[in-house]
Structure 1
Amino acid sequence: MADNGPSNGSPSDLKPDDRTGDSSRQQDKFSPADSIPATRALDVIGAESGSCTQIKSENAIGNLSPSSGPSSLQLKELNELPASLSRGWRFYGAFGTLCLVTFIIALDSTIICVALPTIAEDIGATAIEAFWCGTSFLLASTVVQPPVASLSHIFGRRPALLASLTVFTGGSIMAALAKNIAVLLGGRTLQGLGSGGILALTYVIATDLVSLRERGKWFGLISLNWAIGSILGPLIGGALVEVSWPWLFWINLPFCGIAYIAIPITMRIKRKRDTSVNTKIKEFDWIGTIIFVGSLTSFLIPLSCGGIMYDWSSPRTVIPLVFGILGLISFGIHIKFCRKYCKCDPLLRPSLFTSLTALSAYFATVIHGITVWCLLYYVPLYHEVRGSSPITAGVAVMPFTGTVAPAAVIVGLLIAKTGTYRPFIWAGWVLVPIGMGLMLLLDNHTETFRWVLIYLTGGLGLGILYSAQAFAAQASASNSDLPFAASFYAFCRSLGQGIGVAVGGVTFQNEFRKQVEKSPEFASKANEWAKDASALVQILKKSPSSMQLMKDTIIDGYINGLRTVWLVLTLLACIALLVSLVCVKAKSLDRKFETEHALDQAGPKEKKDQRVPEVNV
């Protein structure tokens, strides 16, 4: 497959069949921004033509050579650009709001982890039902992302974000009021739907606010808030569950209230086109959405619960998997011919998958998601087996999570400065397999300083990739596809998390079972123990010293099972490194910045001077 993604993001990269203003993509009139050389570190606002607000990035290539500079007349014209198009309080307020909602969903995704045994006991739920409290959130969050991103392109970013926040808030209230497992699962599913929409829109809106080259440092700030929320989740959850577990969900409401106020104030989005509601409804790919959501759900559910609720060879596991795979294949065929036969924009644009660089980036992002989720789930389990409390085990993950955030921010700044991303991707995928490989040395007696250093190595690599990996996907996309590339990147990471549950679970259970079967005294219990490893930890802690043989057998099973998980993660990381070295090509990050959803910072005076009617959404 040819790697034919755009290299400079010129207007010619825009496809004539894009439904968002096909006939209006005309040659821009002269603006002072068009003559600014590449070396100028300025955000220059260009002419607004057709349905797109076109903005020169800080390193946009102009008509002058790099050695020349703008004339005094051009500088005067540049300084007279309307204040409404410069970065003001709404820009920083909008990004602050994105960071806030990111923090909320990150906190909620991890706050319940240490509290599940207490919640299950209080409402009379089984271990499998408690397992679904986490799984339902993850599955719902994954499948909803592409549809929400597509809806935001048709109906507007702000309505989509407010709708997602409303669903998340409703789910939080429902979960907090739950008196039985059915209501709790319903609340967690709603939270997952809202969380997935918020996550996808965070990346989409970020592409509307900053140029491609600058995007790394702002994505890094979003990752920082995600890491803070993920770190605080288990700690706050462990503290609140001692008081009353419904507070795990009530705690979301003050943050949601602030977001409800901030979103309408800061995110006044300008759109250059508006259509009737009926036209908007017809533009959405309803058929593709039904195929995609149904197929992906059919694929992920058995992948998540295989070996836990049903054996992997059971028809209840195999049949949904087969139907899911066939459905996803049919979805791929649908999006290729969607415009021709359905007369609407496809849910996922086929042009996202024409570049080898983009495909390799999406593939590596899935592996990144698998790795992160396996570590978040199994590293605390490793420490609990060693005798740590749930809160202490949550703290033990901090060398991973605490390294990810600063690494993501620093790498984002460096990419914005240098304009290159490949060395950072390679560095990340070198560090990750080293870190995962060193984890093979972990046993029940590993000293603290050793596992801290090992975790720091892997966390540094994962943090680098949080920022760097996104550039490979976005730099390969045309300007009109950038928001879709950003949202699909977020989806791939969530998909990796969903697959990570299965990869880690299958790997751990099989090896744990083999180790226990080696002990004649407990071989008959091997299958039962392997299916409910988390609950077994609590039994292990409460077992008297007279049952030391059983405890030693279980601990050996855990250590060897986890070691196999680390080995699989090492192999996957090596594959991602190889793919990145071979397939990721260098693409320019200096391009004209175009968006149909520009942030409106115009005051009353500037609004009177606008020549094209705009719709605030």
Structure 2
Amino acid sequence: MTSTLDRRAGTAPAAPPVDVAPVEQQGGMTHRQILSALSGMLLAMFVAFLSSTVVANALPTIITELRGTQGQYTWVVTATLLSSTASTPIWGKLADLFSKKLLIQLSIVIFIVGSMLAGLAQSVETLIAWRVLQGLGLGGIQALVQIAMAAMISPRERGRYSGLIGAVMAAATVGGPLIGGVLVDTSWLGWRSVFYVGVPFAAVALVLLQRTLHLPVTRRKVRIDYLGATFLTAGVSALLIWVTLAGGTFPWWSVETALFVSGGLLAIAAFVLVELRAAEPIVPLRLFRDRTTTLSIVASIAIGTSMFGSSVFLGQYLQISRGYSPTVAGLLTIPMVAGLLLSSTVSGILITRSGRWKRYLVAGSLLVVAGFGMLATVDHETDVAVLGVFLFVLGVGIGMTMQNLVLAVQNTVAAQDLGAASSAVAFFRSLGGTVGVSTLGAVLTARVDDLIAQGLGGVPQAAQPAQGSGAVGLASLADAPPAIQSLIRISYGDATGRIFLVSAVVAVVAVVAIRFIREVALRTESGDEQLRRGR
């Protein structure tokens, strides 16, 4: 490979130092320069993942203390996913038009403001509102870091650095629950501090980005598709709010359902029409002409639905059903994180060496299905060692799948569409996650209702306070008699397997989509190099 590139450049082949990849494969940046530029971005990514894992592990305590309901538990997570999902394509398009560095810094500032305000919330409703603002910042961080990496590093070498993202994800996933658990379990700190813990890291990331990240700034006349952004946000928000509220706040078949669904579909139809005519569309529809991009997006939706939807309720299972403290619940997720770190790092290195990536996507998606299938057997008595094995298998599958789906798309699209294409994958993955949290939350609530009703059996006067669409479980757990508390905990434990089973079925869609993706040799030029060469 090196000699071929050298002949094209008209120079004699030379063996690079061990710690420096060929310059042709790094957009003119050495390994040391790339690591320096990545420092601030990886710290920002750490903040994004940390905020999710810290809060997820603290939610049972937060909702119990604020006397929230199972529906509100879901909404605290859904609100962030909803705002980050709706804003991701907009961040991606802006990255194709403006300074990527400035946009990453702006998204970090928005995240800091949202986090500080969320920590001051006095009710679940207020907390949900500020989580929306926090999600806008998170959407920018998650999308823009991937886009900036694609601009700096060629697809062939990107696998080498994708392992670093896996390491960051693992550190945040392990550290988040542990930090959150310690904060929640420490009386003088309390759950509010979980929203502040990421702020110092975000501030340091701002400084590092200013000092280390130097990317070319696009200087051309731009037209922002405000109308398309408005229709996209309105359509996605309407449909996701409907999925979240239907079956609880109002029936699935109702006037409210008709209004939400028709309004959402009309907004999306208007968005498609606007995108066909816009000079600078938010989501260029030409991207979907490529089979790899379309199938990768389908797989991302399935993976997002399964992964986000089920992982949100894992902490609830460990704390509510099994009675573990937030700290111990965080420790029990280490096998999944270890599997993710191992597979993302190893698969990234192997992809860089061989240039082949599809085999890892196929194997990873199959392991995701297997992991969820095994987790579908859990109940309130499952041995924690067995649970750890199941989580490790799932982590290995996710580590081989998530980053490599983005890589497959980035390797296919034109350089000028890197931002829009990368954000499209992130958008649909987050969309799947939002739908997953909402839908699986509804499945869990319905199953818990049924199990509690069965457990109360012939005591109808006792069943009334423990049941009800939004009030089952968490809202009554703190004040219920010991016998009812025990029944609620057992019901949550036995119901959790149902959501993992649904996740396994959905993940099968990812396996099928990945199977039909056409493998294309990884490019050896970065996004910026391709732009300079006019590709």
TM-score of the superposed pair, with normalisation by structure 1: 0.76
Q: Secondary structure at the match of 2:526?
A: strand
| Structure 2 Cα separation of the partners of residues 414 and 533 of structure 1 | 48
| Structure 2 Cα separation of the partners of residues 393 and 425 of structure 1 | 30
**Deviation of the 1:206 alpha carbon:** 0.7
Q: Is the 8 A contact 1:303 1:321 kept in 2?
A: no
Match of 1:595 in 2: 528
| Structure 2 Cα separation of the partners of residues 297 and 565 of structure 1 | 24
In the superposition, relative to structure 1, how do residues 192 and 232 fare at CA in structure 2: closer, same or farther (>3 Å)? same
**Deviation of the 1:112 alpha carbon:** 2.1
Taking the TM superposition and a 5 Å limit, the aligned residue runs for 1:194-593 are 194-241=137-184, 242=186, 243-244=188-189, 245-271=191-217, 274-275=219-220, 279-280=221-222, 283-338=223-278, 344-383=279-318, 384-518=320-454, 520-521=457-458, 525=464, 528=467, 531-532=470-471, 535=474, 538-539=477-478, 543-544=481-482, 547=483, 550=484, 554=488, 557-581=491-515, 583-593=516-526
Q: Is the 8 A contact 2:287 2:293 kept in 1?
A: yes
Letter in 2 for 1:479: A
| Structure 2 Cα separation of the partners of residues 114 and 591 of structure 1 | 41
In the superposition, relative to structure 1, how do residues 453 and 249 fare at CA in structure 2: closer, same or farther (>3 Å)? closer
**Deviation of the 1:207 alpha carbon:** 0.4
| Structure 2 Cα separation of the partners of residues 510 and 130 of structure 1 | 15
Identity fraction in percent: 25
Letter in 2 for 1:579: A
Q: Is the 8 A contact 2:173 2:337 kept in 1?
A: yes
**Deviation of the 1:102 alpha carbon:** 0.6
**Deviation of the 1:354 alpha carbon:** 0.8
1:87 aligns with 2:50: no
Q: Secondary structure at the match of 2:458?
A: coil
Letter in 2 for 1:306: A
Deviates more, 1:401-410 or 1:36-45: 36-45
In the superposition, relative to structure 1, how do residues 434 and 265 fare at CA in structure 2: closer, same or farther (>3 Å)? same
**Deviation of the 1:179 alpha carbon:** 4.3
Taking the TM superposition and a 5 Å limit, the aligned residue runs for 1:125-136 are 131-136=74-79
Match of 1:53 in 2: none
1:175 aligns with 2:118: yes
Match of 1:77 in 2: none
Deviates more, 1:123-132 or 1:173-182: 123-132
| Structure 1 Cα separation of the partners of residues 140 and 453 of structure 2 | 45
Match of 2:45 in 1: 102
Return the structure number with greater helix share.
2
| Structure 2 Cα separation of the partners of residues 181 and 454 of structure 1 | 33
Q: Is the 8 A contact 2:55 2:194 kept in 1?
A: yes
| Structure 2 Cα separation of the partners of residues 174 and 585 of structure 1 | 46
Q: Secondary structure at the match of 2:156?
A: coil
In the superposition, relative to structure 1, how do residues 451 and 223 fare at CA in structure 2: closer, same or farther (>3 Å)? same
Letter in 2 for 1:521: G
**Deviation of the 1:596 alpha carbon:** 7.6
| Structure 2 Cα separation of the partners of residues 511 and 224 of structure 1 | 36
Q: Is the 8 A contact 1:270 1:598 kept in 2?
A: no
Q: Is the 8 A contact 2:308 2:437 kept in 1?
A: yes
In the superposition, relative to structure 1, how do residues 349 and 307 fare at CA in structure 2: closer, same or farther (>3 Å)? same
1:221-242 residue CA offsets vs partner (Å, 9 max, x unmatched): 1232123213322221222233
| Structure 2 Cα separation of the partners of residues 526 and 219 of structure 1 | 50
| Structure 2 Cα separation of the partners of residues 569 and 560 of structure 1 | 16
**Deviation of the 1:303 alpha carbon:** 1.7
Letter in 2 for 1:274: R
Letter in 1 for 2:25: S
Say what the alpha-carbon RMSD is for the aligned residues: 3.2
In the superposition, relative to structure 1, how do residues 37 and 543 fare at CA in structure 2: closer, same or farther (>3 Å)? farther
In the superposition, relative to structure 1, how do residues 514 and 488 fare at CA in structure 2: closer, same or farther (>3 Å)? same
Match of 1:74 in 2: none
Size of the alignment, in residue pairs?
518
**Deviation of the 1:181 alpha carbon:** 5.1
Match of 1:157 in 2: 100
Q: Is the 8 A contact 1:168 1:194 kept in 2?
A: yes
Taking the TM superposition and a 5 Å limit, the aligned residue runs for 1:37-76 are 56-57=24-25
Q: Is the 8 A contact 2:160 2:349 kept in 1?
A: yes
| Structure 1 Cα separation of the partners of residues 404 and 459 of structure 2 | 48
| Structure 1 Cα separation of the partners of residues 509 and 103 of structure 2 | 37
| Structure 2 Cα separation of the partners of residues 525 and 459 of structure 1 | 40
In the superposition, relative to structure 1, how do residues 123 and 149 fare at CA in structure 2: closer, same or farther (>3 Å)? same
| Structure 2 Cα separation of the partners of residues 154 and 518 of structure 1 | 58
Q: Is the 8 A contact 1:292 1:327 kept in 2?
A: yes
Q: Secondary structure at the match of 2:104?
A: helix
**Deviation of the 1:248 alpha carbon:** 2.0
| Structure 2 Cα separation of the partners of residues 172 and 323 of structure 1 | 31
In the superposition, relative to structure 1, how do residues 316 and 494 fare at CA in structure 2: closer, same or farther (>3 Å)? same
Q: Secondary structure at the match of 1:595?
A: helix
In the superposition, relative to structure 1, how do residues 304 and 399 fare at CA in structure 2: closer, same or farther (>3 Å)? farther
Runs of 5+ unmatched residues, structure 1: 1-29, 46-55, 59-83, 339-343, 600-617
TM-score of the superposed pair, with normalisation by structure 2: 0.87
| Structure 1 Cα separation of the partners of residues 13 and 435 of structure 2 | 43
Deviates more, 1:467-476 or 1:361-370: 467-476
**Deviation of the 1:200 alpha carbon:** 0.8
| Structure 2 Cα separation of the partners of residues 535 and 411 of structure 1 | 41
Q: Is the 8 A contact 1:106 1:227 kept in 2?
A: no
Letter in 1 for 2:408: A
In the superposition, relative to structure 1, how do residues 145 and 525 fare at CA in structure 2: closer, same or farther (>3 Å)? same
